[in-house]
Amino acid sequence: MILQYLGDGLVQGAMIGLGAVGLTLTYAVLRFANFAHGELLTIGAYAALSVLWLVVPWLGTAALAPFSFGWALIVALPAALAVTCATALLLDRLVLARLRAGAAAMTVVIASFGAALVLRHLVVVLYGPQPDYYTRAIQVALPLVPREVLGGLRLAPEQILVVLVTLGVATALHLVLTRTDTGRAMRALAENPQLAAIAGIDARTVVRRVWLIGAGLAGLAGVLQGLTVQVRPQLGFDLLLPVFAAAILGGIGSPPGALAGGLIVGIAESLAVPLAGAEYRQAVSFVVLILVLLLRPHGLFGRAP
Amino acid sequence: MAGGLDYLVFFAVVALTFSLHTLGLNLQWGLTGLFNVGIAGFAAIGAYASALLTGPDWPGSLGGLGLPVAIGWTGAMLASGVAALAVGALTLRLRQDHLAIATFGVAVVIQLLAQNLEPLTGGAFGLASLPRPLAGLELGSSARNALFLLILAGLVLLAWAALARLTAGPWGRVLRAIREDETAAAALGKSPFRHRLEAFVIGAALMGLGGAVYAHFIGFVAPQDFQAILTFQVWAMLIVGGSGSHAGAILGGILVWAVWTASGTLLDLVLPATFQVRGAALQIVLIGLALIAILLWRPQGLIAERPGGRPRRGER
């Protein structure tokens, strides 16, 4: 069974990693832990659900083999990402940016905690507390490794897609951050805001792009979570601790670190299931978090202050 | 009329248990600048610790020890304090936000344990039949609640007086100095880490006491009473009342709880029964928006920190 636990952990870890990459960027550039980041995942998942309801009458529910979803979800994805990005920009414009500029820096963290609660319960008000699904079609797991080898491995095509999409997006992001002016400006702003300003970097533009990337990745993670698990109001809140643990494990400000952190947390959670039971999954992230803070507080890829 | 008075006593007891939480958070955040997002976790630790110390022998679980309530409440403060000591020792040397994330983790894990560690916590149903203090007296239910209110009011006054004395003296001055300028305080030979840890532990102990008092008042302890919403309520109370002021913390607790119960009752009356779950969510949305508005436009709250503390940024 070990191979199956590793495979399931890899899939979940990829989604945690996507969330953590966005979080680590906003944490490094904007200098605060955004407790509303989990809700960006939830909003992405629900925005896709709403668009899906709108477009299914035109596009139908016919699935694209071997997947359980059809064109409708592919159309819904970019719309969902746009909604997530718009939410993040609006939240920043109306609340977070004002607090960052004015009051004691830490009030922005309370504001993000409050905003998270507001958004999470707004979802309940609009959609109700029950879980939803993008498609009622059954996701059939493909046998990838026969049962004789370490218990075998079966993954649904959607789960394989999650891993591939995550790797593709992470590679593209890495290129953007290391090879383009935007990426260099982000790193400069994270490193030293005063010096970046002197060098002629427009902080507002960079901050906007950081939110777009962070929220876009969060929205994507939310849609993938909705596709492979289910869409529910607690979706993002339940992933917040794993996402924080992954970002800190990877080292704040390191996107590759956050992705690696996500995979490690996901696999650790999965391996803990046969030992401690599925109900203690989230406690694993806490243990990871405590171990990192104890042994290597700047994370695997972060630099010591 | 008696019904109205009974309700007022009930309301006051719950509001004052919140005041214990807000006094604790005021010491941590208002005076020391420590960000605790795990209030619900520390309150739960206190509530369960006291339940296990004082409770009867529940069938199918490890059971309570049947000790007096005073010992339960002392144990509650100790248990939450020790948990805070562990978390604080680990995170208070690191960047500020790490404490926030770690306390958030504490709240999540405590919630998981409360839900799932059934032999100890009774799982989702929790632990029932917790004793009241002075349970030996033969009293009617109104009188029992009034007695409880008296004891609780005494505790809140005691906590207030002790905190006022502590924070007006040299210890409090060091806390404020650290909050304003850590480097300068350290240069004067004060250990920021030790003072922060002390403030964090004392604050968490008060939260543990608040959790325990509430559990003994309603007679049981269950996981659903210690969710993120509790943390949020306490923050709202402190910010509304005025972060940095003990009187503001107590007042904020009473005021926000009044608004909370009133708006809840109103929504219950207005909304049809089928909409109750969404109505409760709507209430949180509205109060959350109000809290954010206060943060933006009146960050010093109703009662600003007294001069001698710093002028808040928002006042300049």
Q: Which residue has the higher pLDDT, B139 or A256?
A: A256
Mean of pLDDT over chain A: 90
The pLDDT of residue A135 is 86
Please state, in angstroms and rounded to a whole number, the distance separating the CA atoms of residues A61 and A64: 9
Percent with pLDDT over 90 in chain A? 61
Q: What are chain A's domains? A: 2-295 (1.10.3470)
Q: Tell me: pLDDT of B81 over 60.
A: yes
What is the rounded distance in angstroms from the CA atom of residue B35 to the CA atom of residue B227?
Answer: 17
| Cβ distance of B295 and A114 shorter than 8 Å | yes
- Measured between alpha carbons, how far is B13 from A305 in angstroms, rounded to an integer? 47
Evaluate whether A137 touches A63 at the Cβ level (below 8 Å).
Answer: yes
Greater pLDDT, B127 or A242: A242
What residues does A153 pair with on adjacent strands? A145
Asked if the model's pLDDT at residue A134 lies above 50, the reply is yes
Q: Which residues of chain A have a CB within 8 Å of the CB of B229?
A: 117
Q: Is the pLDDT of residue A103 over 80?
A: no
A34: closest chain B residue by CA: B97
Q: A13 and A166 in contact (C-beta within 8 Å)?
A: no
Q: At A154, is the secondary structure helix, strand, or coil?
A: strand
In whole angstroms, how large is the CA radius of gyration of chain A?
Answer: 19
Structure token pair of residue A91? 């939240």
Paired residues of A260 in beta bridges: none
Query: Is there a domain that residue B131 lies in?
Result: yes
pLDDT of residue A71: 85
CB contacts of A33 in chain B (<8 Å) are: 97, 100-101
Q: How confident is the model at residue A104 (pLDDT cuts 50, 70, 90)?
A: low
Q: Does B200 map to a domain?
A: yes
Chain A CB contacts of B95 below 8 Å: 305
Percent of chain B with pLDDT over 70: 95
Indicate yes or no: CB of A111 within 8 angstroms of CB of B295: yes
What tens digit of pLDDT does each residue of A189-239 get? Answer: 888 888 888 888 888 889 999 999 999 999 999 999 999 999 999 999 999
Whether the pLDDT of residue B314 is over 60: the answer is no
Selecting from B35, B97, B105 the residue whose C-beta is nearest the C-beta of A241 gives: B105
Q: Quick one: pLDDT band at residue B197, thresholds 50, 70, 90?
A: very high
Gap from A129 CA to chain B (nearest CA, Å): 8
The beta-carbon neighbor of B94 closest among A103, A107, A297 is A297
> Which residue out of A91, A108, A118 would a mutagenesis test of the B interface target, given it has the greatest number of B Cβ atoms within 10 Å?
A118
Give the count of domains, chain B. Answer: 1
Q: Quote the domain boundaries for residue B67.
A: 2-226
Q: Per the domain annotation, does B268 fall within a domain?
A: no
pLDDT of B312 = 44
Does B167 map to a domain? yes
Between A144 and B14, the higher pLDDT residue: B14
Beta strands in chain B (DSSP E): none
* Site from A125, A269, A294 to mutate, B interface, most B CB atoms within 10 angstroms: A125
Find out whether A50 and A223 touch, Cβ atoms under 8 Å.
no
CA distance A64 to A56: 14
- Decide if B300 is inside a domain: no
Longest dimension (CA), chain A: 63
**B282 has a pLDDT exceeding 50:** yes
User: First-to-last CA distance in chain A?
Assistant: 42
pLDDT, residue B315, reads: 38
Q: Reply yes or no on whether the pLDDT at B316 is more than 60.
A: no
Which of the 8 DSSP states describes residue B28? I
DSSP A229: T
Q: Which amino acid is at A206?
A: V
Whether A110 and B284 lie within 8 Å, measured CB to CB: no
* B222 within a domain of the structure (yes/no): yes
A105 confidence band (pLDDT: 50, 70, 90): low
* Nearest-Cα residue of chain A relative to residue B32: A106
* Lowest-confidence region among A103-112, A255-264, B151-160: A103-112
Residues 6+ away with beta carbon under 8 Å from A205:
A185
pLDDT tier, B215 (very low <50, low <70, confident <90, very high otherwise): very high
* B197 domain-assigned: yes
A25-34, A259-268, B223-232, B294-303: range with highest mean pLDDT:
A259-268
Q: What is the mean pLDDT of chain B?
A: 87
* β-pairing verdict for A153-155 and A142-145: antiparallel
Confidence band (pLDDT; 50, 70, 90) for A304? low
Query: Distance (Å) from the C-alpha of residue A152 to the closest C-alpha of chain B?
Result: 30
- Is residue B310's pLDDT more than 60? no
Flag whether B208 is in a domain: yes
